[in-house]
Amino acid sequence: MGFNSVIEAQLDGQPVQLTISGGSGNRVSISITAEEGRVVAQSDSGWSFSTLSDNQLQITMGERCLGLSFVQHQDALFAEQQLRLAASSVFDRTREQASVAEYFKFYAILSQQQNMLTDFVRTGTYQRAMMMNSVDFRGKVVCDVGCGTGILSFFAAQAGARKVYGIEASNMADYAKKLVAHNGMSHLIQIINGKVEEVELPEKVDIIISEPMGIMLVNERMLESYVHARKWLKPGGNMFPTTSTFFVCPFNDEHLYYETASKAGFWTTPSFFGVDVGCLWQSSNEENFRQPVVEYIEPHHLLGEPVCTEFDFLSLTEDDLQEIRIPFEYTFTNPTLVHGIATWFDVVFRGSQHSVTLSTSPRAPLTHWYQVRCLLKKPVLLPPNETMCGELHMKANRKQSYDIVLRISIKGSSVMFQNEINLKEPNFRLSSFPGPSPAMMASVEHDTARPPVPPPQSTA
C-alpha cells in the first residue's frame, strides 16, 4: 500500500513538481524537480514543513528551506494535507481513525483479554514454546508486540529473559503495568504505551514475541505491526511465532448454505404493516453471503486436502501483506457440490531446541479463532473428473481488515462463480468461546519449572 502524490507548484517563480512517495514503511521521501526533470531537492528522511500563508508552504530539508507557492488555494490545501499525512506513521496513514479508535477500545476491556487468556490452547502453547526454548531467551532482550495484559512478557521472563519491552497501544497498558508491579517484575519488564510504528526502544532486541493473528490469520492487520518491529531485531535474531501456514479447502455444507440463504426471507414480505419490503431482498441476501462464517468445522464437510500458503515472519514485509492471492485447483472423481472455501492457519515457533506448533485446524483442539468459511452465493456442481480452479484474493483495507474476492470456475468453462467477502463483519455462529472448566483451571501451571508438554501437532 504505497504512498504517491505529485503536486504542481512554483519555487522562486519557476514551475516545479512536489513529489511525495513511499512504501508501507515509515520512511516517506519528498523531492522537488524542475520542468526539465532536474532534481532541485530531495530527502528520504529528516524533512519537515510549515504553512506560510494560504498559498505558500515552506519545506525544510536539513539546512535548506524552500518556499513553495501554489496558484490555486486548493492545491496548497492538498499539498498540506498530503505532507501532513506523509509525516504521520505508516499505521495512521493506512487505517481509518474511527476504526483504530474502536479497535483499541475493544482491546482495552478486561473481559476481551480474558477471552483470549482463557483460550488454554493458545496461552499454554505460547508458554510451552518459550519454556522449551529457554536457551533463546536466557539473558536476552525481548520485545513483546501488542502485549495486552503482558502475559507473553511474563512468559519471556519465566524463560530467563534479561529485559522485556512490552509495547501496547491501547489503555490495556495501564493494567499491564499494574500486573507487572504486582508481580514484582518492574525491574525486568517495561511496558510502553504506544504503537510499534511510533515508539522507540532504547536498544536492539534478540527476539520478538507477539500474538498478532486475527481470524483468518490476517484480520485486524496486526501482522504488519509484527513484521514492522523487525527494525529493532538484531542480526540473527528470531521471532516467536516464526512462520505461519494458511490453509484453504473447498467444503460442502447444505445446512449452512440454506441457513444463510433463508436469512433474507423477511425481506420477501409483500405487506409488512402495509409496506412491501420485497425490493430489499437482494441487498439483504448479498449482505448475508458477504459475511465470513466463524465457527468450528466438522472435518467431514471438507473436500480433499487443503492448499497451503507459507509466511515467514523473518522475511515477510508489510508490502507483502497488502495483497494476497491464493490459487487452488481440485479434481474429484465423483459429482461434488461445493458451497465455498474453508480456511484456518497454523503458526510455528522455531526455536534452537524445539519447534512448537499452534494449530487452528478442524482436527486440532478448539481455539478462539475457530475456523472461517467463505460461502458462494451459488454452489458449484462439479461433474466427475472435472477440475475446479479458483483463487482467494485478499486485499488490505483502511478498516484494519481485508476485502476478499472468492472466484471459482470449472476448467474449460467460461462460467465464473464469484463472491465478495467482508472480513471486517464476520458471522460468529457460536455466540462465544467456551470458558474454562474447573478441571482446565486446575491444570494451569503455577510451577513454571515443571517440564512443559509439547502441544498436539496439526494433522491437516
**pLDDT tens digits along 358-394:** 999 999 999 999 999 999 999 999 999 999 999 999 9
Q: Which residues pair with 208 in a beta bridge?
A: 143, 239
At residue 54, the pLDDT reads 85
Size of the chain, expressed as the number of residues it contains: 460
At residue 2, the pLDDT reads 54
Q: What cell does 227 get?
A: 513484521
CA 277, chain centre distance (Å) = 38
CA atoms in the 13 A half-sphere facing the CB of 196 = 26
Catalytic residue among 368, 391, 403, 420: 368
pLDDT digits (tens, 9 = 90+) for 223-272: 999 999 999 999 999 999 999 999 999 999 999 999 999 999 999 999 99
Query: What's at 192, amino acid-wise?
Result: I
Confidence of residue 431 (pLDDT cuts 50, 70, 90): low
**Count of Cβ atoms closer than 10 Å to residue 82 Cβ:** 19
At residue 442, the pLDDT reads 47
Return the sign of the alpha-carbon dihedral for residues 93, 95, 101, 106: negative
Please name the residues in contact with 399: beta carbons below 8 A apart, sequence gap of 6 or more: 95, 96, 99, 424
Active site residue 211: yes
pLDDT exceeds cutoff 60 at 404: yes
At residue 331, the pLDDT reads 96
Q: List Cα–Cα distances, 236 to 129, 287, 314, 395, 452, in angstroms.
A: 19, 47, 10, 31, 26
| Residue 289, H or E segment | helix 281-290
Q: What is the SS3 assignment for 241?
A: coil
Region 60-65: mean pLDDT is 82
At residue 16, the pLDDT reads 87
More confident residue, 204 or 18: 204
Among 25-29, 114-118, 255-259, 295-299, the range scoring the smallest mean pLDDT is: 25-29
At residue 38, the pLDDT reads 86
Please name the residues in contact with 19: beta carbons below 8 A apart, sequence gap of 6 or more: 4, 5, 6, 7, 30, 31, 32, 33
At residue 122, the pLDDT reads 98
Over pLDDT 70: what percentage of the chain? 91
At residue 449, the pLDDT reads 38
End-to-end Cα spacing for the chain: 32
> 293-295 and 371-382 as β-strands: parallel, antiparallel, unpaired?
antiparallel
Q: Report the alpha-carbon distance of residue 68 to residue 418 in Å, rounded.
A: 49
8 Å CB contact between 344 and 371:
yes
Confidence of residue 1 (pLDDT cuts 50, 70, 90): very low
- Structural Rg of the chain based on CA atoms: 26
Give the max Cα distance, the chain. Answer: 78
| Crossing angle (nearest 10°) for helices 281-290 and 254-262 | 140
> Closest Cα partner for 222 from 166, 168, 291?
168
Active site residue 446: no
Please name the residues in contact with 259: beta carbons below 8 A apart, sequence gap of 6 or more: none
Active site residue 368: yes
Confidence of residue 446 (pLDDT cuts 50, 70, 90): very low
Confidence of residue 279 (pLDDT cuts 50, 70, 90): very high
Catalytic residue among 136, 206, 211, 346: 211
pLDDT exceeds cutoff 90 at 140: yes
pLDDT exceeds cutoff 80 at 441: no
Q: Report the alpha-carbon distance of residue 25 to residue 318 in Å, rounded.
A: 7
At residue 23, the pLDDT reads 54
Active site residue 320: no
Region 438-448: mean pLDDT is 45
> Closest Cα partner for 406 from 415, 416, 396?
416
Region 318-344: mean pLDDT is 97
Q: Report the alpha-carbon distance of residue 242 to residue 384 in Å, rounded.
A: 41
Catalytic residue among 168, 220, 253, 318: 220
Q: Report the alpha-carbon distance of residue 292 to residue 294 in Å, rounded.
A: 6
Q: What cell does 344 get?
A: 484456518
Q: Report the alpha-carbon distance of residue 192 to residue 180 in Å, rounded.
A: 12
Average per-residue pLDDT for the chain: 90
CA atoms in the 13 A half-sphere facing the CB of 187 = 1
Q: Tell me the whole-structure pTM to 2 decimals.
A: 0.82
Over pLDDT 90: what percentage of the chain? 71
